[in-house]
Structure 1
Amino acid sequence: MNSYNHSNYPNELVREVFGDLSIDKRRFNSSGLKNAGVPSFVAEWLIDKIIQGNGELGIADIEKVNNFVRKAFPRKDDRHVLNFKLTQGEVLKIIALMQVRVRLENKGDRIPEPVASIPSLNIEECRIGVDLVERYENLLRQGLWGKISLSMQSDGIVEVIDFDPFQCSEINLTEYAKARSQFTTEQWRDLMFCSMGFNPEISAYSTTAKNWVLARLLPLVESNYHIMELAPKGTGKSFIFENISNKVALISGGKVTPARLFINGKNKEIGLLGRHDVVVLDEVQSLTFENPDEIIGPLKNYLASGRYNRSGFADISSDCSLVMLANIELDEQLRPRNEFNLLQDLPKFFSETALLDRFAGILPGWEIPKFKTEAIATQVGLKTDFFGEALLALRRDNRFASYVSQHTSFDKNTTIRDQQAIQRSASGFLKILYPHLELTPIDYQRDCLEPAIRLRQIVRDQLYHLDDEFKQNGKIIYAEVK
């Protein structure tokens, strides 16, 4: 069950097949940029731009990279310094996330102009040309990271005069599938694992444990895919979500309000579920849910239908996936202390069966080893920005769902929700491990269907013990390859 020897990881093959889309993962880990709060999908691009090569960065390289970051990455308390420089006629060039909004007004005959915001500086309104917005349409969605050039115009308004994004925007899934065909399944699994930031060559991660780590990618490759992960502290639950893409929103600590999740009734701003591809609620056991009744109703509706409404607004549709991450305690055998009620330490409404039944699965994070220093990737993996965009692009490919439908049969007592959940999970594993769709029925059963059943079975186990209504169909879910 241990991963194979160091000499078998295909570093040179990864470089040969993916070229500039690959990177030695030691470069980011040695750069110190993680401590500077720069996510991987930004940092790896920067490092490759500033200092090309392989292996860990030397002292001079680290200093060069960090000097660049100090100058180019503004801090929140730099706002007034930068504003002063703008008033003195300087053109500022910074690297940050920029978003664009168009506020439609009911009065007046002027067509509203787009307005740019830079969250890291608390700058809410910058003028931006329509040509830039048309060129980079994702500015209107989750926003884009890039090099922003700012200047103050004669009327005293700050304007974005240029923007150079450095995130992958277009992914060729045909070429991605061709690339997959040059790797064995074991090699590809380890490439995915490494690209997530994990070291596939240490013995602590069995094939099963690797598959559960890869299961964290299911909400990225499947739209409207909702899952919980329950695990002890220190397994790296939130790491991939913090670093893979700005299309993933992570809420960790603080209050979760209806306005933040759904829609703000005051300014009509769409909430996180309507703007992102994945929303992650981290440390769920310690989050404060403001007005739970106002959250749970719309949330149950959204999990079931992909639509929600609030405060009298029309229904809002979204393909955003929702992820819940929570810490649980284990016993001496490293099993959950209460396997029959895994949710007992979470806010009470999580044990409401109508809500729980709407999740595709519960990921058994207790079967994933603790994330230690030696677990950090040291091989050549895919650049995180490319990796994240490739995963998200797979959401739009319906061939995988068709494959699952044609190759899976269920027992007559399996509920519709069970079937749909298993099919969605199996489709997601297909996209992650077999994006070229070249596999045998045995491959499908082992790598896709069986883990998909396990994810849903853990949900079924909880429902079975929480509500007698769920006992009529039995406890065990039966599905097989046809």
Structure 2
Amino acid sequence: MNSWEATTYNNDLVREVFGNLCIDKTRLPSSGLSSIGVPSFVAEWLLDKIVPGSGTLTSIELEKIDSFIKKAFPRKDDRNEIIFDLTQGEIRKLIALMQVRIKLEQGGKVIPEPLAQIPVLNLTECSIATDIVERYKILLRQGIWGKITLAMLPDGKVEVMDFEPFQCSQVDLQGYAECREKFNTQQWRDLIFCSMGFNPQHPSYQQEAKTWILARLLPLVEANYHVIELAPKGTGKSFFFENISSKVTLISGGKVTPAQLFINGRTKEVGLLGRHEVVVLDEVQSLTFDNPEEMIGPLKNYLASGRYNRSGFADISSDCGLVMLATALPAIMQYSFSYCLSPNIAFSFEDVPHSCRKCCNIELDDQLEPRNEDNLIANLPKFFAETALLDRLSGIIPGWKIPKFQKEMIASQVGLKMDFFGEVLLSLRQDNRFRFYVEQHTKFAKNVTIRDQNAILKSASGFLKILYPHLELTLMDYERDCLEPACKLRQAIRNSLYYLDEEFRQFLVEKFMWRQSKY
């Protein structure tokens, strides 16, 4: 079934096909779990265990959740109370993110024991049995959320006695593909959209907006996929990445160090790029580096090859994707709020002084479109203007085409549970059939560089995994849903390169003939 006609969202079909792998998305907003910092991939798992059902939570269910939160979720200021209870011989059970690290001593003669870290309580050296680490080796990477049982050892050291992870760990991709066969293309697109946390039936989410929101999934389904999104505040660009999986990490603005991103020369601990599947740099327009050369050099190498080295260490390989999010439109937003305090006052873009139309990265025209769409990174930090770095990115997501996120845009249908959904997306990275398909069905004109081709094929493969995991589609489906948006993503990079460096002007700036499929 590949009908493109608009359809009504079919909750019953989703339940029938996916069973206990789906959840009514209206459950989470009223639960209070998000307000205490619990990501959706954990919260939905808990809701289904504690108060299974559908529809908005009842008062009885809310009381049950509230009681559970108070009992199981520690706050930072609970640390001393928990440690006191442990010293009195109590066993405490709590729900939190836990990581495990091995502390190496130079010239040490004893094999070091693993040490558990519970960030929310600022506990960094908890004893933990090696058999727990053996069972859940993801603890050694980015860590995992779960139910942690704590006790105090006679020597005064906190011990992790037991651990039960919450996240889905096994995915049947063949079964997932068979489930896809039960939906037409529009139904499936809306299911994926809903599973991300967005309401597919909201009138503001037209087809183009949905496409660019779905493009946020590309770094999860494609290994070493690197992209920029330029979007206004409030479009939900960081919301999704914060809630999909503990294998995705987000750094918000400020200063980023080589030790944080690559490897810590003092502790020898591998950085974020080596431990996560996707690293998201939010508010990149405010990023600063103490030593830009020390950061940009390894970063360019990594974007090109998937490897990096630092401080004399051997090369580290990783398939982690890098996502850079930049905010647009803050100046006009501030101006409109200052001068239009009453909703009854008509407001025109022409009323805004020209100086206020230019924000940190995009200057807008009268239709709130980028004034210089051919050079979108002109006002970003200087390191973005280095063409050797920019050319290594697969594309720029046009976030100004995505409407601002409002309460009624939250998903209210039945979608896939976030923990299952995240694991499916990441598991699709390993399936090479999609890359083979796009290579067989795409050819490029002579004016398309190898980097252009690789970027387009990677994006097209990603859209194929997202929308057609069963690989049953027509060439028209492929060109419309996969290849065309892939080309638009890369075109934004090519246009900027053209204006930044004379070397790229030999390729001209018009759209390349890269959408010819083999029949």
Structure 1 residue 206, shift from structure 2 partner: 1.3
SS of aligned partner of 1:35? helix
Structure 1 segment 380-395 matched on structure 2, within 5 A: 380-395=414-429
Alignment of 1:85-124 (within 5 A): 85-124=85-124
Q: CA offset at residue 105 of structure 1? A: 3.5
**By how many angstroms is 1:316 displaced?**
0.9
What's the counterpart of residue 177 of structure 1?
177
Aligned pairs (5 A) from 1:48-447: 48-329=48-329, 330-447=364-481
Offset from partner CA, 1:127-151 (integer Å, 9 cap, x none): 1111111111211121111000010
Pairing partner for 2:502 from 465, 468, 474: 468
**Aligned letter for 2:100?**
V
The answer to whether the 8 A contact 1:307-1:315 is kept is yes
The alignment status of 1:477 with 2:503, answered yes or no, reads no
The answer on whether the counterparts of 2:50 and 2:65 sit within 8 Å (CA) in structure 1 is yes
- Cα distance in 1 for partners of 2:169, 2:237 equals 26
Could you tell me how far apart the structure 2 residues matched to 1:93 and 1:183 are? Answer: 42
3-state secondary structure, aligned to 1:84: helix
Farther off after superposition, 101-110 or 372-381: 101-110
Contact 2:374 2:492 in 1 (8 A): no
Report the alpha carbon displacement of residue 467 of structure 1 after superposing the two structures with TM.
1.1
Contact 1:3–1:206 (CA<8 Å) still a contact in 2? no
Equivalent in 445, 457, 466 of residue 491 of structure 2: 457
1:149-196 CA deviation, whole Å, 9 max, x = no partner?
Answer: 010112222111111111000111011111111111110000000000
Tell me the alpha carbon deviations over residues 391-419 of structure 1, each in whole angstroms, 9 at most, x when there is no partner: 00000111111111111100011000000
AA partner of residue 335 (structure 1): E
Cα distance in 1 for partners of 2:307, 2:168 equals 29
Which residue is 2:339 aligned to?
none
Displacement of 1:106 after TM fit?
4.1
Mapped to 2, the partners of 1:3 and 1:139 lie a distance apart of 45
1:340 Cα deviation (Å)?
A: 3.2
After TM superposition, the structure 1 stretch with the greater mean CA deviation from structure 2, 148-157 or 180-189, is 148-157
Q: How does 1:5-44 map to 2 (within 5 A)?
A: 8-44=8-44
- CA-to-partner distance for each residue in 1:327-370, whole Å, 9 max, x for gaps? 12333202013323311332111111111101000011111111
C-alpha distance in 1 between matches for 2:249 and 2:290:
19
Offset of residue 97 of structure 1? 0.8
Contact 1:400 1:430 survives alignment (8 Å): yes
Unaligned runs of 5+ in 1: none
Distance 1:89 1:277 in 2: 39
Give the share of equivalent positions with the same residue, in percent.
68
> Is this contact kept in 2: 1:229–1:362, CA < 8 A?
yes
| Aligned alpha-carbon RMSD (Å) | 1.4
CA distance in 1, matches of 2:475, 2:241: 31
Determine the C-alpha separation between the residues in 2 that align with 1:32 and 1:116.
28
Shift of 1:59: 2.6
Q: Secondary structure, in 3 states, of the residue corresponding to 1:422?
A: helix
Equivalents in 2 of 1:360, 1:435: separation in Å?
A: 21
**Which moves more between the two structures, 336-345 or 293-302?**
336-345
**Amino acid in the other structure paired with 1:117:** Q
- In structure 2, do the counterparts of structure 1 residues 70 and 4 end up closer, same or farther at CA, with 3 Å as the change threshold? farther
Give 3-state SS (helix, strand or coil) of 2:443's partner. strand
* Structure-1-length-normalised TM-score: 0.97
Take 2:219 and 2:45, find their aligned partners in 1: how far apart are those partners? Answer: 24
TM-score where L is the length of structure 2: 0.90
Secondary structure of the residue aligned to 2:96 is strand
> Is the contact between residue 307 and residue 317 of structure 2 (CA under 8 Å) also seen in structure 1?
yes
Amino acid at match of 1:112: P
- Partner SS state of residue 410, structure 1: coil
Amino acid at match of 1:368: I
* CA shift for structure 1 position 478: 1.8
Any conservation in 2 of the 1:194–1:200 contact (CA below 8 Å)? yes
SS of the aligned residue for 1:148 comes to strand
Contact 1:3 1:201 in 2 (8 A): no
Q: For residue 394 of structure 2, what is the amino acid of its counterpart?
A: A
Larger mean Cα displacement after TM superposition, 468-477 or 383-392: 468-477
AA partner of residue 477 (structure 1): F
Give the whole-Å Cα distance in 2 for the aligned partners of 1:76 and 1:331: 46
| 1:290 shift after superposition | 2.6
- How many residues were matched structurally? 479
In structure 2, the gaps of 5 or more residues are 330-363
SS at match of 1:418: helix
Distance 1:112 1:453, change over 3 A: same
